[in-house]
A and B are shown apart, each in its own frame.
With several copies, the nearest count.
Chain A
Amino acid sequence: MKKFIHDFEVTLNDKISNDCFVLYLKCPVSLPTILPGQFAEILVGNSSEAYLRRPFSIYDVDYQKNELSLLIKEVGKGTLALSKLKIGETLNLVYPLGNSFSIPPGNKALLVGGGVGIAPMLLLSKVLNEKGKQPDVLIGGRSKNDILEPEKYTVYGNLFVTTDDGSMGEKGMVTQHSVFAEKISEYSQIYACGPDPMMKAVAKVAASQNIPCEISLENTMACGIGACLCCVVETVDGNKTTCIEGPVFNTKKLIL
């Protein structure tokens, strides 16, 4: 897929929780097709401390408006600067990068996201829905406040929630949710993105049930385009670049 570099215009910077915000960005030309799981490398022009670009999954795409959005959690200097962007300011993106989630072999799929790791699942649930598949989305968080924009997923499929403190949905970790006990065999594929322990737990259940499982990795990156070899992950076929051969990997191929 051809990659682009464009100056996008911020049309909205929507603070959706204590430390998360969604940037809506308008493309100056016609948006190319963006696949679920792909990401963009953002130049943080308004920070004196962030030198390299920062990678973020593409959260949603609106081809009609020529806009894409990013769901970002403030964790450091770059994301802090991005959180301060105002409407009308420009942001330089290199995109769309990486491979993408595959279409499930069967009809039903389970999409699991932990915290801000949910970001790539919105576009995935949308695309699966468009292809006539049934995406069930399961979001996990420490508490209610970590369950980001849940209403957006119900447009495309069922929504399940777990929280550590039980303030929303079922109490416990995602893999303790009743879908795992009751419906797991219905799914032809499982997708996960979030903290490492969560992805490992999901991968383990999937393996035990013999269900294909894809996860999206967030390795630190310098270039995002396969030029630096900094972002590698060990696979059964040797080192692979997360930015080109990932960020989506079938868990069978990874050495977890």
Chain B
Amino acid sequence: MPDLSVNIHKLQLKNPVMSASGTFGYGLEFDDFIDVNKLGGILTKACTSKNRDGNKYPRMAETPSGMLNSVGLQNKGVDYFIETIYPKIKHYDTHIIVNVSDSTVEGYMEVAEKLNPLEKITGIELNISCPNVKEGGMAFGTSCPMAGTVTKAVRSVYNKTMIVKLSPNVTNISEIAKAVEDEGADSVSVINTLLGMAINAEKRKPILSTITGGLSGPAIKPIALRMVWQVSKAVKIPVIGLGGISNATDAIEFLLAGATAIQVGTANFVDPQVCIKILDGIDEYCNRHGIKNVNELIGALEC
């Protein structure tokens, strides 16, 4: 049995397989299909300072080997999360990391500060890369000063593990990664969705109510892998890789490219058991290749 545990800053994960924010609900939605406790961690859907209704329907469009979404951070706000959702999920024996979003720096700070005391929330993931909100969101993630500012502000009110989730919609993602590392990020998640668009040619209308949306799924895997490779060479903090991961081979590619852990997003929709299959597949790969500790694979790409 290979040792699959990895460390993201202070968090020791049982294994490198986590679920991605916005694609796994609060974990509960998957209880019928898998034992959520087996995962290295779960990233909850975005949590904002106030209730948000999200964008108008339609919010998704299928694309070749992927999908666009424009959910737009729908959630009932941090207070509701603490009062109503947290009690339902705190029994999970895995790291529960809350994805924190907002339109203002103050909003981010408010959410982080309120989450800080929750014992079973062992970390937060700052979403500075959501392409589906008019204000804030991706704007924070596409310039170094903005990314640095929000990271620094949240750092000042949050003392557990803080991961910053980066936007791929930039010329130089390594620079942004370094900016957030400098301001105190403990880890970076690479990548959020790519801004895309879908049109119904017959109706001559955009398919999404928001015209553009975030592209995810296998289609973006080559881009995500490249960015994980670039960022892991640029920063010292651990990188969490995601974007299109659908099977164990994909996951191992991300580890080899430099990711310490991975997240599985859209693939959960296609196969609600995929996270466990990936976990089993990593185990099988390690056994087959005589790898005793999964850390041997991290960044082990031979170029």
Binding site for B on A (CB under 8 A): 2-5, 43, 49-53, 94, 219-234, 238-239
Contact = CB atoms under 8 A, between A and B. Distances in A.
B165 interface: no
Interface in B267-293: 268-273
A254 to B, nearest CB: 12
A94 B268 CA distance: 12
A101 B54 CA distance: 27
A228 B270 contact: no
Nearest to A43: B270
Contacts of A234: 56-57
Given A222-B67, A223-B29, A231-B60, 10 more contacts: A5-B271, A43-B270, A53-B269, A221-B60, A222-B60, A222-B266, A225-B272, A234-B56, A238-B53, A239-B54
B59 interface: yes
B69 A230 contact: yes
Contacts of A2: 32
Nearest to B266: A222
B25 A4 contact: no
A51 B66 contact: yes
Nearest to B61: A220
A3 B32 contact: yes
A147 to B, nearest CB: 26
A53 B25 contact: no
Report the 3 A-B pairs with minimum CB-CB distance, sorted nearest first: A230-B60, A227-B25, A223-B269
9 contacts: A43-B271, A51-B64, A51-B65, A51-B66, A52-B269, A222-B60, A223-B268, A227-B29, A230-B71
Interface in B109-148: none
Interface string B13-45: 000000000111100011011000000000001
Please indicate which of the listed interface residues B24, B57, B58 has the most CB atoms of chain A within 10 Å of its own CB. B57
Contacts of A226: 25, 29
Overall SS of chain B's interface: loop
Contacts of A228: 22-23, 60, 69, 71, 269
Interface residues of B, number: 35
Contact of A229 (B59, B67, B217): B59
Overall SS of chain A's interface: loop
Please indicate which of the listed interface residues A5, A49, A94, A229 has the most CB atoms of chain B within 10 Å of its own CB. A229
B174 interface: no
B217 A227 contact: no
A5 B30 contact: no
B296 interface: no
Contact of B74 (A51, A221, A225, A239): A239
B62 interface: yes
A171 B273 CA distance: 47
Contacts of B74: 229, 232, 239
Given A5-B273, A52-B270, A227 B60 contact: no
A5 B71 CA distance: 26
Contact of A227 (B24, B67, B271): B24
Contacts of B62: 50-52
A229 B71 contact: yes
A225 B67 CA distance: 17
A11 B270 CA distance: 24
A224 B70 CA distance: 16
Contacts of A43: 270-271
A225 B29 contact: yes
